Structure 1
Amino acid sequence: MGFIDWYFTVVVFMFGACWGSFLNVCIYRIPAELSVVKPRSRCPKCMTDLAWKDNIPIFGWIFLGGKCRYCKVPISPRYPSIELLTAILFTWVWLVFPVMVEDGFDFRFVPYWVMVFGLILGSMVDFDEMWLPDRCTIGGMIIGPIFSFLIPAMHGAETHLGGLIDSLIGLAVGFGSLWSVSVIGKLVLKKDAMGFGDVKLMGALGAFLGWESIIFIVFVSSLIGTIVGVSFIAAGNKEWQSKIPFGPYIALAAVVWMLGGSVLWDAYLAWMQGTAY
């Protein structure tokens, strides 16, 4: 990469870290039904407003030694971890979907940044509270088709209407597939087999990524969940198997698909069919 490429890559990384800082606010305040805009960031222990230098993404935590400047209570390393994760994923998306292409401009990185933001937010709230915010799931089902109409390249479509139609088909397939699993599971197991938040999340992902992604996301998320569950059992922590919700597995599989999972999926299908070279 040339100097300009490196410059914009660093800018995107910093931009992603800033959004990661805002994510920390959303993850803490949304479940508590608090405004994510005001009041300004403050220590949850001593309630002292934080100075701007304390809020520098990633580095603020390092400069403070992982403790509040005022009451010296330890600050969870999860805060800089989320900022770093968001920065890395924003940068990764930027590198996979560059704005400059041979035949013009490609703005797919914008909706994918929005999707990454929503997936991290939903996953962390799901970890903490065992539910997915509607602003991540229903919100995704609303803005996914809008983005798809504006940027039909998200679905490989040539027209705006084609992008919208592909998005709505993906939404229907994503929502309907997991809704069917939920209904059948409840009939067989006589209890809820899957949270409805997961169903709505799959609808949102289908709207963003298209119906082709759904089989991959269901397969990979189930595989990851099985591996994690077996690992906990093998480590003697069987009770943790039920404490991890399914939403984060879905989110991880969706990110893998977005960043090139379709290539892996095609290779897997070719291997299964015996046509791989």
Structure 2
Amino acid sequence: MMPLPSEAFFIVSIFIFLAGLCIGSFLNVCIWRIPRDESIVRPGSHCPACNHAIAPWDNIPLLSWLLLRGRCRHCHAPISPRYVVVELLTGALFAGIWLVHGWTVQTPVYWLFAAALILGTFVDLDHLILPDRVTIGGMIAGPVLALAFPELHDQTERLPALIQSLTGLGLGGGLLWLVAILGRAALKREAMGLGDVKLLGAIGACLGWRAVLFTVFVSSFSGTLFGLGLIAAGRKELQSRIPYGPHLALAAILWMFCGPACIDFYLAWAFPSRPPGFLP
């Protein structure tokens, strides 16, 4: 595809960022309602404090929160700034994925998967659960997308792409399931939630087996750093209340931006004389 002129590229980038803000606004609805088994469609948006319906002009992503100074127009209850954080994060990720991948088959798939990871992350932070809509949904969507778009796994044929997806699914789910079993035996308590197992399986199904290895390494590193930070801050008791899912999501998002390049760089450094096709 011919590259866009600079002016058109800028306009498209802004449009994608604004679209991401709107998706983030919808994700806020999902983050609130899905753990409560409420419909994400009806009723329409309303204040959780006074249940008053939110008018369309009070529901504009980012702008309405700023104009209302973070409060409900009717009852003046505070509206968490996290609504804005989710909107800005989604907009930034959508724009970033577009800037890195351009008009490729990866772009819309990565948009959808990033949105699912944001949804799972904030539900996990609030309720210490990962919705099956995210985890099992990803485990099912991954092989289907591999068959439909083998380019997602750098393949031209459907069968090799499907094998890549299923290998990632099995490796991702199997690795954390093994960690959960061994952790339970060693610690005499749950060391890993089943939701984390399913999430890594979904990451492998959608992004491939190399993404699983990258995600395990990066999430372990970020989780360790976060735990050390809590200890240094004298908040060690919070370690057991911090879910692992957000670390998995962070690592998967990093993979979408730079994971393959990081693995290629490491392999070139660690195995400078590796034969062609070594760890493809």
Q: 2:30 aligns with which of 26, 33, 36?
A: 26
Supply the distance in 2 between the matched residues of 1:199 and 1:108 (Cα, whole angstroms).
24
Unaligned runs of 5+ in 2: 274-280
Aligned equivalent of 2:232: 234
Supply the distance in 2 between the matched residues of 1:110 and 1:146 (Cα, whole angstroms).
15
Aligned equivalent of 2:115: 117
Please list, as runs of the form range in 1=range in 2, the aligned pairs for 1:134-213 lying within 5 A after superposition: 134-213=132-211
Runs of 4+ in 1 over 6 A off after TM superposition: none
* Shift of residue 168, structure 1, vs aligned partner: 1.1
Q: Which residue type is aligned with residue 211 of structure 2?
A: S
Supply the distance in 1 between the matched residues of 2:188 and 2:71 (Cα, whole angstroms).
48
Query: Does 2:38 correspond to 1:61?
Result: no
Q: Which residue type is aligned with residue 58 of structure 1?
A: L
Aligned equivalent of 1:256: 254
Aligned equivalent of 1:11: 15
Supply the distance in 1 between the matched residues of 2:16 and 2:101 (Cα, whole angstroms).
13
Q: 1:90 aligns with which of 88, 91, 94?
A: 94
- Matched residue SS, 1:142: helix
Q: Which residue type is aligned with residue 227 of structure 1?
A: L
Name the TM-score, length of structure 2 as normaliser.
0.92
Q: How many residues align?
A: 269
Percent identical among aligned pairs is: 49
Aligned equivalent of 2:277: none
Q: Which residue type is aligned with residue 222 of structure 2?
A: I
Deviation by residue 1:15-55 (Cα, 9 ceiling, x = unmatched): 11111000000000001100000100011111110111111
* Shift of residue 265, structure 1, vs aligned partner: 3.1
Supply the distance in 1 between the matched residues of 2:117 and 2:253 (Cα, whole angstroms).
9
* Shift of residue 160, structure 1, vs aligned partner: 2.2
- Matched residue SS, 1:42: coil
Supply the distance in 1 between the matched residues of 2:145 and 2:84 (Cα, whole angstroms).
30
Supply the distance in 2 between the matched residues of 1:143 and 1:86 (Cα, whole angstroms).
21
* Shift of residue 274, structure 1, vs aligned partner: 7.8
Q: Which residue type is aligned with residue 134 of structure 1?
A: D
Aligned equivalent of 2:74: 70
Q: Which residue type is aligned with residue 70 of structure 1?
A: H
Q: Which residue type is aligned with residue 61 of structure 1?
A: W
Supply the distance in 2 between the matched residues of 1:271 and 1:157 (Cα, whole angstroms).
25
Unaligned runs of 5+ in 1: 100-105
Supply the distance in 2 between the matched residues of 1:193 and 1:273 (Cα, whole angstroms).
34
RMSD: 1.4
Supply the distance in 1 between the matched residues of 2:150 and 2:97 (Cα, whole angstroms).
17
Supply the distance in 1 between the matched residues of 2:130 and 2:160 (Cα, whole angstroms).
30
Query: Does 2:55 correspond to 1:51?
Result: yes
Supply the distance in 2 between the matched residues of 1:10 and 1:35 (Cα, whole angstroms).
31
After TM superposition, the structure 1 stretch with the greater mean CA deviation from structure 2, 80-89 or 165-174, is: 165-174
Aligned equivalent of 2:276: none
- Matched residue SS, 1:30: helix
Supply the distance in 1 between the matched residues of 2:230 and 2:258 (Cα, whole angstroms).
29
Aligned equivalent of 1:80: 84
Supply the distance in 1 between the matched residues of 2:140 and 2:19 (Cα, whole angstroms).
25
* Shift of residue 270, structure 1, vs aligned partner: 4.2
Q: 1:234 to 1:274 in 2, by over 3 A?
A: farther
* Shift of residue 147, structure 1, vs aligned partner: 1.3
Q: 2:221 aligns with which of 220, 223, 228?
A: 223
Query: Does 2:40 correspond to 1:36?
Result: yes
* Shift of residue 204, structure 1, vs aligned partner: 0.3
